[in-house]
Amino acid sequence: MLVFLQSRNGITTLERADPEKLTTQPAFLTGWIDRRDPFRSKDIFVMKRTRDVRLSLLILLSSLSSVSSQVNPGVCRYPLGMSGGQIQDEDISASSQWSESTAARYGRLNFEEGDGAWCPEITVEPDNLKEFLQIDLRSLHFITLVGTQGRHAGGIGNEFAQMYKIKYSRDGSRWISWRNRQGKQVIEGNRNAYDIVLKDLEPPVVARFVRFMPVTDHSMNVCMRVELYGCEWLDGLVSYNAPAGQQMNIPEHVVYLNDSVYDGAIIYSMTEGLGQLTDGVCGLDDFTESHVYNVWPGYDYVGWSNQSFPGGYVEIMFEFDRIRNFTTMMVHCNNMFTYNVKAFQHVVCYFRSESDWEATPLAFSPSVDDEDPSARFVPVPLANHMASAIKCQFYFADVWLLFSEITFQSDTAMYNTTLTPPKAGLPPIIQPEDDPTHKVDDSTTRILIGCLVAIIFILVAIIVIILWRQVWQKMLQKVSGMANEIQMTESILSTQSETFAYSHNQSSGGTSEQESSSTYERIFPLGPDYQEPSRLICKLPEFAQNSEEPASSSTVAQDGVPHYAEADIVALQGVTGSNMYAIPALAMDLLSGKDMAVEEFPRKLLTFKEKLGEGQFGEVHLCEAEGIQEFMNKEFLFDVPEEATVLVAVKMLRSDASKNARNDFLKEIKIMSRLKDPNIVRLLAVCIYSDPLCMITEYMENGDLNQFLSRHEPEGQLALLSNAATVSFGNLCYMAAQIASGMKYLSSLNFVHRDLATRNCLVGKNFTIKIADFGMSRNLYSGDYYRIQGRAVLPIRWMSWESILLGKFTTASDMWAFAVTLWEILNFCKEQPYSQLTDEQVIENTGEFFRDQKRQIYLPQPVLCPDSLYKVMLDCWRRNAKERPSFQEIHRVLLQIQP
Ligand code: ADP
């Protein structure tokens, strides 16, 4: 007889079993993970799951009768419906949301709807773990695996959770923090915004509600997409209460027989929890070993000595989710009689259906086995008792009782332990009592149904295997066809005359379809990290600056590459520099935001002084603000003014502004209110309770850097003769270093500015610089932003090639813009970048950067710029975004430059 065993490392083994040993329920019938060494028999077949189709079929045949009353964690790994859509939107909630388009319902793994993920309202702080994404599974589930992914949104997003914690609840009120077998709560999450990372929950949990809580070591923007994997918890067991497990002293060492993963309270006894007795893993024959999880001996068992139980029995009470009709209880017991351990000799069970316990208990005495020391399941018939709680007294047959699992069979609810989906296409929430197939009592009918189902499974499995192999081959071809991907991007760019951004799904050439699984495709362990190559396109160096692979630009930079719809882009954009934007039609919930870091200021305390300038929203005024110090968040204010009246800049939304412009204005407020750095302009207060909407910022007395430098000259003879105001080279570097410092702060938050230029930096006293104008980054979470609608204008002379051609904005593209800004500074803003090129030629030049055939034109070395600094600027304009320096490096370089 073949026994189907599945080990934890993804290798499936088939073992020829000794029929003698199968006196009690055999492992293959129960579908349990058997920890006995699968390599001990010489008749073993070891099979790599993905290699041998014939052996897969053998396994399928061997598991024909693998319909079990117990859950098997090795098989119970089905996606529970975040990615498949079976979990309804209303069952997905969150602590907060950044905007309507990043609400909880967008937190579905592999979904690209909305703005591409769930994003909490505020930056996640290391010491403030209150943000969570919550899933209600509507019924108890056995959850073995979780999957997470960040916000990619076709290259626009770059937010993900590097770490997270899980909390779960069975009743919605008592929440339990998940810990691994070593007691650690934090789970390592994603390293980029697109790959799916799967993590086994060891131990698995039984829960109805699950919360994902992002964890960070520094404050940062986090977005998540998630999936839960497992199966419905048909046992219905909600908790067991038992005396706490004890320690056994044997000559070699101490064996700890406590329930180390119990999730209820443990004082003298264990109450209201589930733990090792329900984790789906059976203990070894030899309980003194425990090599599976690298933990202490006896780990798998909960054990008690008869010396502590004068009555001669251990009482365990089991509570269920509802009244059930019980047929069997299965108790996995150790039987190493050489250590005075034996399965129980007698059990007495009491049943409670409503509030009262039944008067007559049920008693059962299994045969005591003094010969075979193997651990075994002892089935206890429960004779169709109706109950919602069962209390059993297990009588000692020797000094020790050691249990590793206890499960219940009721209402003929059965787990499917075959490799094929249990009910492909059905929603995961299946109430056994609602499902007619669960009500078949007659055993012959059950066998017949089992056979029929098994035949269907085999046919489906064969089809799936054949299709899967074909898809796999296609995927391999795809990986080798990098050039094809580029062509596809070109065609997207050339056909999307109205759409600037490339759509991630489109450009990945349908890989998402190939990867998207049927509802019940089971997730097998793939390796220690279970990294899935979810987006081939993201791994291509041309498309992902985060990719680990080395750049191979030569493979794609070929002659004859078309011009990426340059004409289309040119037709859509206008001249650089001014700020007109496509306006996203997104609802904005700023006013309801509870965590606003900025306060409303009484409008009447503002006194107009003069007009400072005019921006896209309206005029910017210099005002006196009476008593504004009280409204300032001192913690983050860098130069707290002492005077009663303070000069401030007040940016106002013009009265005829559209609803969208109003939303954008509020979004900019929202972003600015959270940025706190000496080199970022501070939002001090707002007037948003009434119109016109105003943001009150620090006043920077020297205006924007572009105008400031235009009014100045480099030090030297010429300046002396013309009597012009000068700025030293040292001060130019000082100003550039401050911009780098502000950008360093933004990049630490994964925040992309997208419009860095001298015109967007403000100058205060003593050459202090603060970055301003978050007009483009306010669309951080807007998938709409890149749709160029007729008049939209982009600052193409500051933009990296990938921002122009692929719509990809990252910290590395900010770095590109920084080098252009540095170039402007060193030229005293006397000249526009690429002033000798028309806009069409700038776009053509971008194509040359993409082709990288040494035909691209770089901005020339400014007269004042030392060679070493020009080299750094050229590094910032490297084709491969990964090779560009970081803001930390640039900041360091600028601080070190000697005039
Ligand atoms: P928008 O981003 O809507 O285009 P800006 O923020 O650029 O508007 O403001 C327009 C002009 O107002 C700037 O070029 C600058 O000269 C002036 N300005 C804006 N904010 C300040 C400030 N905090 N201090 C001094 N001048 C400012």
Structure tokens at 152: 């990619």
- Could you tell me whether strands 225-232 and 133-149 are parallel, antiparallel, or unpaired per DSSP bridges? antiparallel
DSSP category for residue 574: -
Tell how far the Cα of 651 is from the centroid of ligand 1, in angstroms.
8
Query: How large is the average pLDDT for residues 280-300?
Result: 76
Query: How large is the average pLDDT for residues 523-534?
Result: 35
Cis peptide before 203 (omega within 30 of 0): yes
Closest CA to 341 of 377, 368, 379: 368
Nearest protein CA to atom 6 of ligand 1, as residue: 773
**Residue 820: pLDDT over 80:** yes
Residue 497: φ, ψ to 5°:
-70, -25
Nearest protein CA to atom 1 of ligand 1, as residue: 615
Identify the residue with better confidence: 17 or 422: 422
Query: How large is the average pLDDT for residues 611-624?
Result: 88
53 — pLDDT class (breaks 50, 70, 90)? very low
Residues 485 and 509: beta-carbon distance below 8 Å: yes
**Residue 716: pLDDT over 50:** yes
Query: How large is the average pLDDT for residues 525-545?
Result: 32
CB atoms within 10 A of CB 619: 15
Close Cβ partners of 162 (under 8 Å, ≥ 6 residues apart): 188, 189, 190, 191, 215, 216, 217
Close Cβ partners of 715 (under 8 Å, ≥ 6 residues apart): 726, 727, 728, 729
Taking the C-alpha atoms of residue 578 and residue 575, their distance in angstroms, rounded to an integer, is 8
Taking the C-alpha atoms of residue 669 and residue 310, their distance in angstroms, rounded to an integer, is 71
Ranges assigned E (strand) in 754-793: 761-763, 769-771
Q: How long a stretch of residues is the chain?
A: 899
Residue 489: φ, ψ to 5°:
-60, -40
644 — pLDDT class (breaks 50, 70, 90)? low
Residues 420 and 83: beta-carbon distance below 8 Å: no
Query: How large is the average pLDDT for residues 681-689?
Result: 92
DSSP category for residue 846: H
Nearest protein CA to atom 8 of ligand 1, as residue: 615
CA distances 495 to 236, 498, 564, 565, 809, Å, are: 55, 9, 9, 8, 21
Nearest protein CA to atom 21 of ligand 1, as residue: 649
Q: How far is CA 19 from the centre of its chain?
A: 47
Exposed / middle / buried, residue 812 (Cβ in 10 Å: 0-12, 13-18, 19+): buried
**Residue 591: pLDDT over 50:** no
Q: What is the pLDDT of residues 213-224, one digit of tens each?
A: 999 887 778 899
**Residues with a known catalytic role:** 755
Ranges assigned E (strand) in 396-500: 400-410, 415-416
- Look at phi and psi of residue 510 and say left if phi exceeds 0, alpha if psi is from -120 to 50, else beta: left
Which residue type sits at 601?
F
Q: Which atom of ligand 1 is nearest to the CA of 700?
A: 24
pLDDT score for 18:
34
Identify the residue with better confidence: 62 or 201: 201
Taking the C-alpha atoms of residue 536 and residue 203, their distance in angstroms, rounded to an integer, is 32
The binding-site residues of ligand 1, defined as CB within 6 angstroms of any ligand atom, are: 579, 612-613, 615-617, 620, 649, 651, 681, 697-700, 703-704, 762, 772-773, 775
pLDDT score for 519:
33
DSSP category for residue 503: P
528 — pLDDT class (breaks 50, 70, 90)? very low
Q: What is the pLDDT of residues 864-898, one digit of tens each?
A: 999 999 999 999 999 999 999 999 999 999 998 85
Tell how far the Cα of 777 is from the centroid of ligand 1, in angstroms.
16
Nearest protein CA to atom 7 of ligand 1, as residue: 615
Tell how far the Cα of 682 is from the centroid of ligand 1, in angstroms.
13
Cis peptide before 120 (omega within 30 of 0): no
456 — pLDDT class (breaks 50, 70, 90)? confident
Most confident of 52-61, 665-674, 777-786: 665-674
Average pLDDT, the chain: 74
Tell how far the Cα of 83 is from the centroid of ligand 1, in angstroms.
45
CA distances 595 to 69, 97, 101, Å, are: 49, 11, 19
Tell how far the Cα of 119 is from the centroid of ligand 1, in angstroms.
30
Lowest-pLDDT range, 126-135, 515-524, 735-744? Answer: 515-524
Q: Which atom of ligand 1 is nearest to the CA of 618?
A: 3
Tell how far the Cα of 750 is from the centroid of ligand 1, in angstroms.
25
Structure tokens at 19: 């029929």
Residues 703 and 613: beta-carbon distance below 8 Å: yes
Nearest protein CA to atom 19 of ligand 1, as residue: 620
Torsion of CA 368, 372, 375, 380, to 10 degrees: -30
Ranges assigned E (strand) in 192-333: 196-215, 225-232, 237-243, 247-249, 254-256, 265-266, 269-273, 302-305, 313-333
The separation between the first and the last C-alpha atoms of the chain, rounded to the nearest angstrom, is 84
706: helix, strand or coil: helix
Among 609, 614, 620, say which to mutate for ligand 1: greatest number of ligand atoms within 8 Å of CB.
620
Closest CA to 595 of 135, 195, 123: 123
Q: Which helix (H) or strand (E) holds 451?
A: helix 443-480
pLDDT score for 32:
35
Exposed / middle / buried, residue 163 (Cβ in 10 Å: 0-12, 13-18, 19+): middle
756 — pLDDT class (breaks 50, 70, 90)? very high
Structure tokens at 63: 């598991």
